[in-house]
Amino acid sequence: MADISTHEKPTEAPSTTLLSVRDLGKTYPGSAGSDAVEAIRSISFDVRAGELVCIVGPSGCGKTTLLKCLSGLLAPTTGSVALDGETVLAPPRKMAVVFQEYGRSLYPWLSVRDNVGLPLKSRGMPRGERDDVVRAALEEVGLGQALTTFPWQLSGGMQQRVAIARAIAYQPEVLVMDEPFAAVDAQTRADLEDLVRRVWQDLGVTVLFVTHDIDESVYLGERVLVLSSSPTVVQEDLVVDLPAERDQISTRALPRFTELRTHVHQQIQRAKRGDRTGLPATPR
């Protein structure tokens, strides 16, 4: 069995690098007498086209701040983000974001079809083409029959499927997900995790997935980036060497799964204590 291995420091980006984060730092300015908050000190990593990378870290370590900087919603204080070699200065056309709060991200007065089609309409896609793309995206997430339904008629898990359909209908190169399943029950969460793996495999999209859940990060990811506590750096860049075909029962029962999730758990405990040294590889 292979050791737990970490990525080399990303000094030389491979030619297939899609997203490149270099020395990214973010300090929120203080207001009304409060001190400035250095949320992120310096984060560097690369994501290759087609990877599924999970990001975990202690609460408040800056995961959302990082995603906002990656997606052009927030300007970093230092460093840069590049997508396909172009510096990200505003939300890029090639990126779609799925947030935790599906209830607030869907318009209750629009049907499922119109919610999913809205970004395409804004982009000027003609109605006929739009309908085809929307239908295919909803079929991909198992909601092919829900075109004329309204979000409030659906369960939380189904609403999050609609949000995922809207993101993939937009045909992004990078799908960014910020704790998307934190608000659903365990069984729905497992189904949605499998949906993300399937969408990733079917569409070849690059996925960046932020989660609080260590097991989820190992189950989903090809890599797990473990962030330190604030002010944040990348504490570890871990390769998940589990088989590509995963399922909730047999993958989670693998000894390797247990080794990897224990390793990430220990790293996060270290991060919480402010210990930034890496852990040794797990025993063979």
Interface size with ligand ATP, residues (CB under 6 A)? 11
Helix/strand/coil (H, E, C) string of 88-144? CCCCCCCEEEECCCHHHHCCCCCCHHHHHHHHHHHCCCCHHHHHHHHHHHHHHCCCC
CA 22/CA 14 separation, integer angstroms: 14
Contact 157, 184 (CB under 8 A): yes
20 binds ligand ATP (CB under 6 A): no
65 binds ligand ATP (CB under 6 A): yes
Q: CB of 168: closest distance to ligand ATP in angstroms?
A: 24
Residues in CB range of 267: below 8 A, 6 or more apart: 226, 235, 236, 278, 279
Q: CB of 58: closest distance to ligand ATP in angstroms?
A: 7
How far is Cα of residue 184 from the mean position of the Cα atoms in its chain? 17
Residues in CB range of 154: below 8 A, 6 or more apart: 112, 146, 162
Among 2, 3, 5, 60, binds ligand ATP (CB under 6 A): 60
CA 235/CA 278 separation, integer angstroms: 7
Distance (Å) of CA 36 to CA 104, 197, 254: 29, 39, 45
Among 13, 28, 48, 110, binds ligand ATP (CB under 6 A): 28
Q: Specify the residue, 143 or 207, whose C-beta has the smaller distance to ligand ATP.
A: 207
Of 61-69, 193-201, 218-226, 260-268: span binding ligand ATP (CB under 6 A) = 61-69
Of 59-67, 165-173, 196-204, 268-276: span binding ligand ATP (CB under 6 A) = 59-67
Of 9-17, 62-70, 215-223, 259-267: span binding ligand ATP (CB under 6 A) = 62-70
Q: CB of 17: closest distance to ligand ATP in angstroms?
A: 24
- Tokens representing 253 are 């029962």
62 binds ligand ATP (CB under 6 A): yes
240 binds ligand ATP (CB under 6 A): no
37 binds ligand ATP (CB under 6 A): yes
Among 217, 230, 235, 267, binds ligand ATP (CB under 6 A): 230
Q: Specify the residue, 76 or 117, whose C-beta has the smaller distance to ligand ATP.
A: 76
Which residue ranges make up the site for ligand ATP (CB under 6 A)?
28, 37, 39, 59-65, 230
